[in-house]
Amino acid sequence: MSDNTLQYQWIVTIQGGLDKELPDFVAGNILWYPVEGQPKICIGPDVLVAFGRPKGHRLSYLQWEEAGVTPQVIWEVLSRGNTLWEMEQKRMFYQRYGVEEYYVVDPYKERVEGWQRQGDQLVAIPQMNGWQSPKMGIRFGIEGGLRLFHPDGQPFLTFVENAAFADAQRRRAEMQRQRAEKELQRAEEERQRAEEERQRAEEERQRAEEAQRRADEEHQRAEEAQRRAEEEGQRAEDAQQRAELQQRRAEEAEAKAEALAARLRVLGISL
């Protein structure tokens, strides 16, 4: 169990971040019994990760009831009371019982040490800054203070930071929702204006078609009137020509009559 709030915060942050990241069993402050029938052989790591084991609540991690799976990753978070001898004994325990990665976090100095299994030994990782866990995929950063990063680059957050982040996400989501609603409203208004413009354009088109139809009718009437006028003119010309022909005939007949009368007078015949 943690003996101060800083140690507890780191334990909860590590356990919560890993539990969120991994689909496997991740636990904090739980006793691990590696050997069936040997209850004195146990240890209580601050955080353990058992890949391939399902999530869920347990009173302790009984390895023989977990398909014999050894927790592959162990975390210890130092308290003020931890001694070098105690931490070396823990490392030897983890080395003996098959742990593959082992990390010790010093929350006071914001440092971390790590070991990785090579054969039957846990060998110290020479450079932790930028180290990426082969098993967990998380990355360590120690420049400017110890930070842990998820594979996507997002940092591990405390409960308070997670709550603040979630609130910020909710606020951003609400702002985005409001912006989306405004955009949707503007789009609807634009659609309505476009529909009104379309209707006005359709009415203008219909009025233009009606005006064109009336103009075409007027044009046809004018052409018909012109045709009738031309026909009337032609009939008038024909009538005038007939009148002139009749007048010439009458004049010719009158001239003939006068000529005949003149010959008769010459002959002494009077009419």
> How wide is the angle at C-alpha 75 spanned by C-alphas 71 and 80, nearest 5°?
145
For 182-227, the pLDDT digits (tens) are: 999 899 999 999 999 999 999 999 999 999 999 999 999 989 988 8
What pTM, to 2 d.p., does this model score? 0.64
Residue 43 β-bridge partners? 32
Question: Measured between alpha carbons, how far is residue 88 from residues 66, 71, 93, 122, 219 in Å?
Answer: 27, 18, 9, 12, 111
User: Do 4 and 82 touch, CB atoms closer than 8 A?
Assistant: no
- Hey, what are 117's tokens? 């299994």
Q: Per-residue pLDDT averaged across 216-240, rounded?
A: 89
- Hey, what are 183's tokens? 């955009």
CATH architecture observed for domain 5-156? Alpha-Beta Complex (3.90)
User: Do 112 and 103 touch, CB atoms closer than 8 A?
Assistant: yes
Q: Where are the domains of the chain?
A: 5-156, 157-262
For 141-166, the pLDDT digits (tens) are: 987 789 999 999 999 998 777 666 65
* DSSP E strand boundaries for the chain: 25-28, 32-33, 47-50, 61-62, 73-77, 101-106, 111-118, 121-124, 139-141, 147-149
Question: pLDDT at position 2, please?
Answer: 59
State the residue for tokens 């039957």: 120
